[in-house]
Amino acid sequence: MTEREAYESFADFIQDYIYEKKWEHLNSMQIRAAELIGLGTHNLLLTAGTAMGKTEAAFMPAISQIYRRRRDSVGILYISPLKALINDQFTRIEEMLAGTGLRITKWHGDASVSKKERLLSMPGGILQTTPESLEAMLCRHPENVRILFSSLEYVIIDEIHYFMNSQRGLQLLAALERVQRLIGRKPLRIGLSATIRNTKTALGYLNAGTGREGEVVDYQEECRRYVVSVSVTQTGRDEYPEEYIGRLLEESRGKRALLFTNSRRECEILIARVKDLALANGMPDCYYVHHGSISKDLREETELAMKQAEGPVLTGTTLTLELGIDIGDLDLVIQAAQPMSISSMVQRVGRSGRRTRCSAIAFHLRCLRSDGSIEGVSLGLVRTIAMIELYFREQYLEEVRAEGWPFNLLVHEILAAICEKGCMRPPVLAESVLELGIFRNVTQAQLASVLRELIAKDVLMVYEDGAIGLSDTGERFCNRMDFYAVFEAEESFVVRCGEQEIGALDKPYKKDTCFFLAGKTWRVVGCDLKKKRIDVVPDETASAAITFSSSGMRQTDQRTMEKIHEILDSDRRYQYLDEEADELLLATRHLAERYRLTELLTEEDGTDNVLIFPCAATDAIRTLQCLLGAHRIPCERLFLDGTLYGIRVFAMTKERLARRLKRLGRSLAFVPEEYLLQRFRKAGKYFEYLPDDLKYLEICRDVLDIGGALQIAEEIVEVFAQ
């Protein structure tokens, strides 16, 4: 299909939209997507960088098709991981539909009830939702699913990589299969992503339960340039020294920028400190905060301010602005700490330079001054360099690993099936649940084991005729609003100032104490533990605490660890480092040589301990430490600057450890069930409802990397066999 043919395949109003937006041409992805969506034979995975037109590539041909066919049904179901992304896309698509009679409707907890009711009375157009809202519809009102989606043609899954390695993503697949059952048809699926490395895995996820093959349509923009810089501020007791705050202020001066942090606490602190310094120097107040604990209204105010501001603006944020919410064109992205992942870094840098096609990212790292110990090695800079080199020079992205043993989700789907049907006889329940593609590896015996556990824990009950239904406890569990989410939500206390909601915190505060939220200091005037509400008034004169829960262990994949070892072993210099960063890199390399950080096995100076430094991913190192402990080899994990880098084995020589591992051989992989369950808990709110043997199996398959750990052990044995 040529560009002209693709353009002419669109409905007239789509052609008018393209003309009004002054597009000079369609890119190759948009042309190919128009052809394939028109044919309707394959699911499609559209991959391209941020702001490269993936949304338009999916929607323009899909909208054209449903406009021409005009059935009494929603034609396009759009799934997003975030309500904020739904709201943002709503505005863009609504503009595209102007004057056509087609409607786009938001369907989530914050959406208008009257507009939902209007859609039910006159189904059509596009429906936007989240997995949780779709789950709620299936459980509580399956009749609405039949009404709304009777002739559904397309399912568009935005940010598909966000779903692929999570229980939430498996829940979405199950929900889509249940929709297909109810409507008796299999709509075409279209996945969108800017950060997919293994397209085969992504297509497997996208195609699941459809019986349809998929095709990848990608687009690489050749003309985009990247400007990367890295600076380091070495810190002591003061976690955020004045020098560092000054650097952030100077970097962002006169620019439209986002300041990405790895935690809500850091986000609040940095914007507060930068703002105070700016105001003290007579600069205007153009500073905002945007993260998941701030109320929807305040986040939307920030998004609007970012779009409309003509002058400089700096917004501190976490992952809430990492995805594709439109906040206008940016000059710069500032990263205030080492990236959590390469994929995250790519999403973030893509937020800048949409107009100029020149994206800029400035890393401003804080590194604790080394005390000379091995734990004092500042690995954060090296890890950041590794990620920069891997993506910007090698175009490498981490592979997303899909979960394969969703026993956690099995509990949810059992409860969801009973919510939908009332009560069910065991064979019917088994058929309903196990036919879902995500449970292809689950046996009838394993399902029966889960049912027995749920009955024993008074979540389910057995009626006299043998049918299974919800107990009173199960009814209360399933009637809670958070039932529809498979992830565990933090305990949340709503913060209100009068009638305005400010946000939410994960713990209560006593009266007259102060805390910091949404860029301001608040004094508590009342706290209702039962209603989970904190009432506050502004108090900018008081000092305040900033506390949020932590984000868990930082993950490093195999290729990134290999690059870290390569950087430590080389003498290469990097032009994008400032003088202090360059000096720190040299110092870190000296320490790496002193402590032999790139050797697989070394004896720790001044002790009887052995250090293992495998060039391996986080999961493999963590698993090896678990296996060693299970076989009574005393050891601990060794973290360098927040990165799991190695293992310390106590009271052991290298030779003795190698001999011990050789004797154990493959039996090293055996971990007693009780030992493992004491040390690991898989994420998921249904984990405690599983029988121990299935907990054990799920941890072994989805949390640990037994193969990777055994490979490290074999490498240690081989070193001493030579």
Q: What angle do CA 287, 289, 293 make, to 5 degrees?
A: 165
Q: Are residues 372 and 498 in the same domain?
A: no
Q: Which of 219, 236, 265 is the last residue of a domain?
A: 219
CA-to-CA separations, 333 to 76, 247, 313, 330, 386, in angstroms, rounded? 34, 14, 12, 8, 19
Which of 405-409, 507-511, 607-611 reaches the highest mean pLDDT? 607-611
What CATH number corresponds to the domain at position 450? 1.10.10.10
Q: Tokens for 42?
A: 């394959």
What angle separates helix 618-630 from helix 706-721, to the nearest 10 degrees? Answer: 80
Q: Tokens for 185?
A: 């048809």
Q: For 209, left (φ over 0), alpha (ψ -120 to 50), or beta?
A: left
For residues 683 and 628, the answer to whether their CB atoms sit within 8 Å is no
* pTM, two decimal places: 0.87
Residue with tokens 């360059």: 582
In a domain, 454, yes or no: yes
User: 424-433: long-range contacts at Cβ-Cβ below 8 A with a sequence spacing of 24 or more?
Assistant: 424/467, 424/468, 424/469, 425/465, 425/466, 425/467, 425/468, 426/451, 426/466, 426/468, 429/468
Q: Are residues 154 and 282 in the same domain?
A: no
Write a three-state SS string for 337-399: CCCCCHHHHHHHHCCCCCCCCEEEEEEEEEEECCCCCHHHCCCHHHHHHHHHHHHHHCCCCCC
Give me the residues paired with residue 555 across strands.
none
In a domain, 368, yes or no: yes
Q: Are residues 314 and 387 in the same domain?
A: yes
What is the C-alpha separation between 44 and 60, in angstroms, rounded?
Answer: 14
What is the C-alpha separation between 638 and 625, in angstroms, rounded?
Answer: 10
pLDDT score at 490: 63
Query: Of 693, 692, 714, which Cα lies nearest the Cα of 620?
Result: 714
Q: Are residues 292 and 236 in the same domain?
A: yes
Mean pLDDT (the chain, rounded) = 89
Which region among 170-179, 375-384, 462-471, 487-496 has the lowest average model confidence (pLDDT)?
487-496
Sheet of strand 225-235, all strands in order from the earlier edge strand to the far edge: 225-235, 358-368, 332-335, 256-260, 313-317, 287-290
What is the C-alpha separation between 504 and 264, in angstroms, rounded?
Answer: 12
Q: Which residue has the higher pLDDT, 34 or 99?
A: 34
In a domain, 30, yes or no: yes
In a domain, 99, yes or no: yes
What is the C-alpha separation between 468 and 460, in angstroms, rounded?
Answer: 7
For residues 472 and 511, the answer to whether their CB atoms sit within 8 Å is no
What is the C-alpha separation between 198 and 343, in angstroms, rounded?
Answer: 12
pLDDT score at 326: 73
Beta strands in 147-219 (DSSP E): 154-157, 188-193, 214-219
What is the C-alpha separation between 262 and 393, in angstroms, rounded?
Answer: 24
Query: Of 697, 168, 181, 132, which Cα lies nearest the Cα of 450?
Result: 697
Per residue in 62-119, pLDDT (tens digit) is 999 999 988 889 999 999 988 888 888 888 899 999 889 899 999 987 788 899 999 9
For residues 73 and 151, the answer to whether their CB atoms sit within 8 Å is yes
pLDDT-derived band at 388, boundaries 50, 70, 90: very high
Q: What is the DSSP string of 24-51?
A: ----HHHHHHHHHHHHT-SEEEEEE-TT
In a domain, 109, yes or no: yes
Q: What is the DSSP string of 581-650?
A: HHHHHHHHHHHHHHTTTTSSEEEPTTSS-EEE--S--HHHHHHHHHHHHHTT--EEEEEETTEEEEEEES
- Mean pLDDT value across residues 271-296: 91
Q: Are residues 628 and 501 in the same domain?
A: no
Domain ranges, residue 673: 599-721
Q: Are residues 138 and 46 in the same domain?
A: yes
Q: Are residues 435 and 510 in the same domain?
A: no
pLDDT score at 459: 94
- Provide the residue type at 679 as one letter: R
Per residue in 234-276, pLDDT (tens digit) is 887 668 899 999 999 999 999 999 999 988 889 999 999 999 9
What is the C-alpha separation between 442 and 439, in angstroms, rounded?
Answer: 5
pLDDT score at 33: 95
Q: Tokens for 703?
A: 């949390």
Residue with tokens 């810190």: 235
What is the C-alpha separation between 644 and 638, in angstroms, rounded?
Answer: 6
- Mean pLDDT value across residues 683-705: 87
- Mean pLDDT value across residues 142-152: 94
Residue 708: CB partners within 8 Å, gap ≥ 6? 558, 616, 617, 619, 620, 623, 624
CA-to-CA separations, 77 to 38, 115, 131, 158, 207, in angstroms, rounded? 17, 16, 11, 11, 16
Q: What is the DSSP string of 640-684?
A: ETTEEEEEEESS--HHHHHHHHHHHGGGGG---HHHHHHH---SS
What is the C-alpha separation between 645 and 641, in angstroms, rounded?
Answer: 9
SS3 label, residue 502: strand
In a domain, 592, yes or no: no
Per residue in 620-670, pLDDT (tens digit) is 999 999 999 999 999 999 999 889 999 999 999 999 999 999 999 999 999
Q: Are residues 515 and 630 in the same domain?
A: no
In a domain, 573, yes or no: no
Q: Are residues 320 and 389 in the same domain?
A: yes
For residues 207 and 43, the answer to whether their CB atoms sit within 8 Å is yes
Query: Of 196, 581, 159, which Cα lies nearest the Cα of 362?
Result: 581
Q: Which of 364, 393, 422 is the last residue of a domain?
A: 393
Q: What angle do CA 32, 33, 37 make, to 5 degrees?
A: 125
- For 95, phi then psi, to 5°, come to -65, -40
Q: Are residues 463 and 499 in the same domain?
A: no
What CATH number corresponds to the domain at position 166? 3.40.50.300
pLDDT score at 478: 87
Q: Which residue has the higher pLDDT, 281 or 546?
A: 281
Q: Are residues 264 and 292 in the same domain?
A: yes
End-to-end CA distance of the chain: give it in Å, rounded: 60
Per residue in 584-608, pLDDT (tens digit) is 999 999 999 999 999 999 999 889 9
Q: Are residues 235 and 353 in the same domain?
A: yes
CA-to-CA separations, 165 to 76, 318, 551, 553, in angstroms, rounded? 25, 20, 17, 16
Q: Which of 219, 238, 266 is the last residue of a domain?
A: 219
Q: How many domains does the chain fold into?
A: 5
pLDDT score at 655: 92
In a domain, 584, yes or no: no
pLDDT score at 722: 59
